[in-house]
Each structure stands twice: as structure tokens, then as C-alpha cells.
Structure 1
Amino acid sequence: MEFLAAGIAGVASHITYFRRGEHHLYGQYYFQGFFVIFTLALALLYFPDQDDLKASFLSVGRLSICYLIGLFSSLVIYRLILDPLNKFPGLVGAKISGLWISFRFRRCDGYKQAQKLHEEYGLFVRVGSSDLSIAHPQAVEALYGPKSKCIKGSYYDLTKPMVSMQTFRDRSQHDARRRIWSAAFSDNAIRGYEKRIKSYQDKMIALLQASDGTPVNITNLLSIYNFDVVGDLAFGKSFDLLENPGSQLHWAVELLREGLKPLAFLFPIWFLRFMTKIPFLARDWWRFIGFCRNRLIQRMKESPDIPDIMSVLLAPLEGHQPSEQEMNLLVGDSQLILGAGRRVLITTITSQIKI
């Protein structure tokens, strides 16, 4: 009877709680809570009568399994039969779990796989338990246009509590941060950036001239140029890659490159966040976060002659020490400059060279 009750409790917890709202931010807490409850139940069953520990463990284990069977059975039935997204075509695996699309993208060829799915199923394809892939031409205006009521998806919560202008899902927060950022792209600010990056342009041109007809890996050269530029704009200090173009890349640059690779698999956000909580798996990730934080602290102690982007972002602090929330935002914005800024620069320059 107790096993049936545990199964019913699992079904009830899904219907009344897990089926509602977003839960991707709490995966580690659910895991920890389950472990704590399991341990407490084991202690309550074992210690009063000093019963056999193995028997107590098996009893609690069976109850836990029954609870999980009830929970996931309810979840699967809902996603297969009752979910509103069932009216959209897609494979059964996609209805059950977002990990299905990650398996489909296992060769890091997501754009090809997405095209195949749309060729087979049409303009709207269900690619996850709560995800659609849309290829309708009018979707751009409907989803991203000025009249859109849509908000950013849960993927933007990947780095929470560290956030940036890009990752704010609340529109009012994004708009407030964008107003601060807008000052970083005024005419005066851009003229200042031109002065800052001129030395890097001169170094890159000098390297091209020094090649004297020898073939140059332009992809690598543009990459290290861009890292030096965005490092300067973000922290007032470059990575000095152009000084030694043939040497090994700065370890933080390597981590930034490598850190983007898991995104190619399009893992569910709950899975990615859970992985970042496992020390040996996320060691490099937290090392890079620490690097950005330390560079930011160092930059806050300096006052550059020619303002960088961080000069604008630090201005609202008016000289006082940032709170933990403000620090998370500044670190997030510095990563935004390093990541998004690098891609914009290298795409623009590559296009110019191609033309």
C-alpha cells in the first residue's frame, strides 16, 4: 500500500507543481532536496529500533523509486497526450525530452539537422518537450518585431545569477540596461575607441607586411586581433596576442573558444546549469568567470586616459564599491563584450576582406 501511495504522490507532485511554471533554475536544489529527504527517511526508519540498515535502505529505496515512477509516468503521459504543443508535428522523442534534439545534433551539424526536420515536417516542428523550431518567414516580425509580446526563452538564464544586457529576460530590466549601454556607442565614445584600437590595427598591418608574400593564416590573425581589441574595450587591457602571434593563445581565450562548443549540442538549459554545478566538469568555466571578475576589479582601480566601454558601465556606480548583484551584472557585461563583440568584429572584417 505504501508503494502505491508513493507512486500517487509522484503523480500529484507533477500535476500540482512540476507541470506549472519554469524549473530550470532549481535542478540542483531538487536533487539536493531529494537526497536530504531520502537520508532523513532512512534515519527515521533505522534508528528508532536499530533495524537492519540494508533492509531500511532497500525499503526507502523502493519508496523513492515508486515516487519517481509516478512522477515521470505522469510527465511522459502529459507530454505525449495532453501538452498543447502536440498539435505541431515532430518525432515522439522530441515530445518526451529536450535531450532528443541534443542527440540529433551530436555531430555538431545542427543547421543541417534543422533543415532536414523542416523539409520533412514543414514550417513548424516540435524539437523538444517545450520547444518549437519555426521556419516561417513571417515569424521574424511576429517574434522579434516591435509589437511582439514574446519574451526571451529560458536559455538566457544559463549564467544566472550573473546576467548582462543581452541575457535580461524582463523587458524593463533590459531597456534600463540598454539606456546605460547606449552612451557607450555615442559619436564621442566611438571616436575614443578608434584611438584605442589604432595601435592594434597598426600591429596587424605590420604583421601582414612582414610576411613579405608568405601565406598568412588570416583566420588566426583576425582572431587574435579581435581578442586584443575586445579585451582592451572590456578591461582596458589587451591579451597581448599580437605581440607574439606565433605563441600559444592566452588560456582565457582558449577557454572562451572551448566554452562555446557544448552549445552546439543544444542541451536543455536545466542540463547545462546542472553541469555547471559539478566541480570537476565546470572547473574551466568557473576559472574563466574568475578571470573576468579579477580583470574587472583591476580595471575599477584604474582611470584610462581614453575611455573604454567599461568606463560607461562603471559610471553609474559613482565611485562606490558594487554590490554582489551589481558585480554579477558587470562581469556578465564584460563577457558580453568578449563574446558577442568578438563575433561582430571578426564577421565584419572577414566580410570586408572577402569583398
Structure 2
Amino acid sequence: MAVLEFIGDQLLRPNRAVVFGLGAIAGLAMHHGFYIHGEWHVQAPAIVVGHSLAFAALFIGSVSSSFAGGTLTLESKFVFRYPGFAILGYLVALFTSITVYRLFFNRLARAGFAGPVGARITKLWHMWACRGSKNHLVLDRLHRKYGDFVRTGPTEVTVFHPDVYWVIDGPKAECVKSEWYDILDPNLSLVTARNKFLHQTRRRQWNQGFTTKSIAQYEEKILKYVDQLDVCIEQDVAAHRVSDVRNLFFWFGFDAMGDFVFNKPFNMLQDQKWHHIIVLLQRALSLLGPFSAVPWLIQIGFKLMPRVWILKDWFDMVAWCEKQMHERLQVPEDKLRVPDVAHYLMEDAKTNNFRKESMMWLNGDSLLAIVAGSEPTASVLLGIFCELARNPAHARKIYDEIQGLDIRDARSLSRAPHLEAVISEALRFYPVLPTGGNRKTLEHGVTIGGTYIPPYTTIVAPRYSIMRREDCFERGNEFLPERWFEKPEMIRNKAAYAPFGTGHHSCLGRVLATDDMRLVTARLVSKYHIRFPTGEDGHGVLGDLRDQFTANPGQLHLVFELREKQ
């Protein structure tokens, strides 16, 4: 209070009031002339540096102005004499204008979308609210309080209506990916491509690696890691140890994906320990829990402080992925028994003579493929086995129906209805993208469930909440696989079910991921009884889940016991 009184007293002095006013005019001009037009998140580092230099120049000018004598205009003398008041006026006017505009005058304010006052002013509110990486729970609480359409940012609406997926990603969608997807800038990748034409062009390259023939070839690789996973569990059984299933499933996912992308695994199942680069990756991804809400702050951290704190882990991990891709480029294609994804991506790079842009695509795709291909599979497997231990009747049904099927053939296992239902229900109940996948409306806006979303608005569609809606799934907060084949009436609105996305933005690896889940589940259920160790109930899988764009579930420990041979 004393500080405010002092500032007010100082501003009563005419010269200082003039300087403060000039700064205020500059602040208003910046907001209304620049910041309310277009996107500025990628330029955020330059804006910070530019402002810092300008403020420093004012203070330097205050020293040199004393030697300028009469060569300066009266206004310049005032500004250089009182630089602190010029800066104060600029910042007060800028942030006051931003706050007033966002609360009362921008498109969402005029449309009357409800939401927390703090969220309407700044996404820093949201960052603080999900500082524990629990954005899925934050949004779920907002849904219960405000309804199906909630203003969760100055230009952001979170939509809980089940029609949202079709509108934002369907064949006639008039949306693009949001600012978040510039996270790899300047590198490029299929997952982060915001330009629709570039995305479609790159997806055609990826499609070559996901043909029926290609997936059948990859299945041979997957089986090797299913065998290694089984060996790890066998060793736990022989030693009467409780199995750390979270470690095992993540090791499996990353080993299989390393082979899938780079034609060499991380050897974590073989060594039974985390690879150092995956430890860095896990630490780096923890940034995405709270900071996904503020992509401009991510850009500032990445561009201005790349070697600070766990930001260093991110860049070390990116450098490692780039190194792996460069090493992969040196491997003769005739030495590969089974082509990997890099094989198809490199064809495009070769066609373009490995130009800089082609290498940026290769580097970005290698990183995103490792993350997007391994963590989701591990996450859903944890959900599946948590539920099998919680309700052994599901395991018994799967065991009975896979008798006579080839448990080393994913196509054969697709004929096991309860296994398929358990996987489908796990994808619903344990979504791999709890709240991620933001889109942005274009110049005409969109209408969802009768509600118009204005142009240039970010739309969040949280799967965690939508796929639990009672009006879409009867007893939506319960794990009930029978809804997928025995009791279809329990699915009241299938539009709410989009675990792999919709349309051209749907997950390319959905078939491969589902095959992984079939093969692992069938192998372990056919060989073992599964239960929780004494004192545990699997609550931590969801209870400790962290929403880091992809889901990062909590710990799961299980006891495996060999079935008696029949």
C-alpha cells in the first residue's frame, strides 16, 4: 500500500505524469495495434528480448541525456529523465487494456461463455490450476460447475459436448491444430503440422509404413518383445517377486517403438532397467503437464533458456533422437530384414536430396513417433491389467475364448469378442490423450450442439470427461466391457467415443497399438492368473495419473501365478 501511495504521489508531479502518459499511450498502441491481431506465441521470445532491450535503452538514455543539453526535445528530456515512469505507464496501460478487453470486449466475452474469471484474463490461471499435472480433473470440475461449454482461456473454449470430435476433425472440419502444436518449432513433424496441406502430404509418406503388409511385418518384431516381457514376468514368478508392471509395460512400449522407428530397441526389457534417454524423456515430458496451457511460455523457455533446469533434458533427448536418425541413415537398406518406419520417411528425404527442410521433418518425426507410439500403448495396457486384477471374471472370459486361437497372431485374436471389448473399454476409461488435441476455429467459426464458437477460438475436447458422460455411456464411471458386445444399449451415443481421434487427424498407429494390446493381453492371460499384492488395489493407476498431453499413469504392482496346465 505504501508503494502505491508513493507512486501516486510521484505521478502528481507534472513532468512525471507526462512521461507516465506517454508510456501509457505506447502500451495501448501495442495492444490494439498488434497483440489482438494474429498469433504471437512463436514470437514470444523475441518480444521478451525486444522489450528488455527497449527498457534498457531508456535507462541508458537517462544517463546520456544529461550530456545532450538542448539537443533533445522537451518530451524526450522528460522520458529519458524518468524512464521508470515511462515503463510503468507502458506496462500498466498494456495489461489494463488486455484485462478489460478480455473480460468485456473480445469475441468470447461478447458471446457470453461462462468460466472462471482468472481463466478469462490469462492462461496463467490455467497453468497454476493444473500445476500438479491434473488438467483432466481440473476440466472435469469446470464441466460440473459451468456445463458443456466453458471458457477456459481468453480465446479458448473447452467443449464437453459429444459432437465436438466430428465438428473439429471430421471430413468437413473447418479447424486447424492450435498454437500448442508449434512446440517443436523450427523442427517439423506429422503430429505437429498445423498447415492442412503439409499435414496431408506428410501423412501420405507415413501411410506407406502402415499398410496391411507393413503391419504384418512389424508384428514379427512385436512378438520378440512380447517374449522378452514374458521372460521378465517368469523371472518374477520364479523368485516369488511382485512385478512392477508399470516399468515392464513402459519398457515394452519403448523397446518395440525404438525398433519400429530406428530398427533398434532400447533394450530395457533385456537389461531390466530404464534407458538413460527415456529417463530424460520422461522428465522432459513432465513440463507438458502445467505448461501445455501456455504455449508462449514454452517457446520462451525453449528459445531463451534451453540449458536450464529440465529444459536441458528436453534438448538432450531431441539431440539423441536426431543422432539416432543420422545413424539410421547410414544403414544400407539391404541390411534390414524388416523395413522400419524410417525407411519410408527417408525415401522422401532422398527424393529431396536431404535438404534442410527434409531433415527437419525426419528429426521431428523420429521424436514424436517415439513418444506417441510407446506411451499410449503402455498406458492402456496398465489400465487393462489393473481391471483384470480387479475383476478376474474378465480374465477368465478372455482365457476361455482364446483357447484354439493363435495367441501369436493379432488377426486371429481379433475374433475374441471379450478381449476386443476389454481393449475398447480400456481405451474409453483410460484415454491416452486425457485433454490433449486442441483445435482452432477459422474465419467462419463452428457450431457444436447448437452453440456457435466464434472465429479464431481454441477448442479443447477432453476425452477423459466426454467418454464418461452418463448420457453417452450408461454407468460411464465404471469399467464395463460388456457394453461393447453383450449390452450395446449401454452405449447411448457412440459419437462420444474417439480414443484414436477422428478423420484425417486420427492416429496412424491405431491398428499397430491395438495389435500390441491383443498380443500382450492374450499371452499373459493364457499363462498366468493375475491379482493385486496384499494391501494394493490398483487405485494409483488413475488416482496418480498425470496429464502431460499423453497420459502418464501411476504405479501398478501385480502378482502373476502360473496357470496349471490343462
| Both structures adopt the same fold (TM-score exceeding 0.5) | yes
Aligned partner of 1:41 among 58, 83, 94: 58
Report if the CA contact (8 A) 1:42-1:56 is conserved.
no
Alignment of 1:14-53 (within 5 A): 14-47=31-64, 49-50=66-67
Structure 1 residue aligned with 2:161 = 136
Structure 1 residue aligned with 2:325 = 296
Aligned partner of 2:293 among 243, 263, 267: 267
- The amino acid across from 1:297 in the alignment is H
- The amino acid across from 1:28 in the alignment is P
- The amino acid across from 1:334 in the alignment is S
Gaps of 5+ in 1: none
TM-score by length of 2: 0.59
Structure 1 residue aligned with 2:348 = 316
Report if the CA contact (8 A) 1:46-1:56 is conserved.
no
Q: 1:190 to 1:58 in 2, by over 3 A?
A: farther
Report if the CA contact (8 A) 2:261-2:340 is conserved.
yes
- The amino acid across from 1:332 in the alignment is G
- Over residues 73-130 of structure 1, what are the superposed CA-to-partner deviations in whole Å (9 max), with x where a residue is unaligned? 1111101110111210012111110011122223332222212211111111111111
- Over residues 231-264 of structure 1, what are the superposed CA-to-partner deviations in whole Å (9 max), with x where a residue is unaligned? 111222211112211x3x1121112222222222
Report if the CA contact (8 A) 1:24-1:270 is conserved.
yes
Alignment of 1:155-174 (within 5 A): 155-174=180-199
Report if the CA contact (8 A) 1:123-1:134 is conserved.
yes
Aligned counterparts of 2:55 and 2:232: Cα–Cα separation in 1: 63
Report if the CA contact (8 A) 2:19-2:79 is conserved.
no
Give the secondary structure class of the aligned counterpart of 2:133.
Answer: coil
Give the secondary structure class of the aligned counterpart of 1:242.
Answer: helix
TM-score by length of 1: 0.91
- Over residues 128-186 of structure 1, what are the superposed CA-to-partner deviations in whole Å (9 max), with x where a residue is unaligned? 11111111122222222211101111111112111210111111110000000000011
Aligned counterparts of 1:227 and 1:147: Cα–Cα separation in 2: 35
Give the secondary structure class of the aligned counterpart of 1:196.
Answer: helix
Structure 2 residue aligned with 1:95 = 120
- Over residues 207-244 of structure 1, what are the superposed CA-to-partner deviations in whole Å (9 max), with x where a residue is unaligned? 22333353322221111111111111122221111221
- The amino acid across from 1:61 in the alignment is G
Structure 2 residue aligned with 1:327 = 359
Higher mean C-alpha displacement, 336-345 vs 170-179: 336-345
Q: Does 1:77 align with 2:105?
A: no
Q: Does 1:287 align with 2:312?
A: no
1:192 to partner: Cα distance: 2.4
Give the secondary structure class of the aligned counterpart of 1:314.
Answer: helix
1:350 to partner: Cα distance: 4.6
Report if the CA contact (8 A) 2:352-2:358 is conserved.
no
Structure 2 residue aligned with 1:3 = 20
Give the secondary structure class of the aligned counterpart of 1:47.
Answer: helix
Report if the CA contact (8 A) 1:168-1:174 is conserved.
yes
Q: 1:225 to 1:103 in 2, by over 3 A?
A: same
Higher mean C-alpha displacement, 217-226 vs 292-301: 217-226
Aligned counterparts of 1:61 and 1:291: Cα–Cα separation in 2: 45
- The amino acid across from 1:301 in the alignment is Q
Aligned partner of 1:305 among 328, 331, 337: 337
Structure with more strand by fraction: 2
Gaps of 5+ in 2: 1-17, 69-77, 389-421, 423-566
User: C-alpha root-mean-square deviation of aligned residues, in Å?
Assistant: 2.3
Higher mean C-alpha displacement, 32-41 vs 124-133: 32-41
Structure 2 residue aligned with 1:251 = 276
Aligned counterparts of 2:125 and 2:269: Cα–Cα separation in 1: 42
Aligned counterparts of 1:40 and 1:112: Cα–Cα separation in 2: 46
1:349 to partner: Cα distance: 4.3
Aligned partner of 2:371 among 335, 339, 352: 339
Higher mean C-alpha displacement, 257-266 vs 173-182: 257-266
Give the secondary structure class of the aligned counterpart of 1:238.
Answer: coil
Structure 1 residue aligned with 2:263 = 236
- The amino acid across from 1:125 in the alignment is V
Q: Does 1:68 align with 2:96?
A: no
Structure 2 residue aligned with 1:109 = 134
Report if the CA contact (8 A) 2:253-2:377 is conserved.
yes
Higher mean C-alpha displacement, 260-269 vs 79-88: 260-269
1:322 to partner: Cα distance: 2.4
Structure 1 residue aligned with 2:227 = 202
Higher mean C-alpha displacement, 307-316 vs 142-151: 142-151
1:348 to partner: Cα distance: 5.5
Q: 1:228 to 1:104 in 2, by over 3 A?
A: same
1:268 to partner: Cα distance: 0.8
Question: Aligned residues: percent identity?
Answer: 27
Give the secondary structure class of the aligned counterpart of 1:239.
Answer: coil
Aligned counterparts of 1:218 and 1:225: Cα–Cα separation in 2: 10
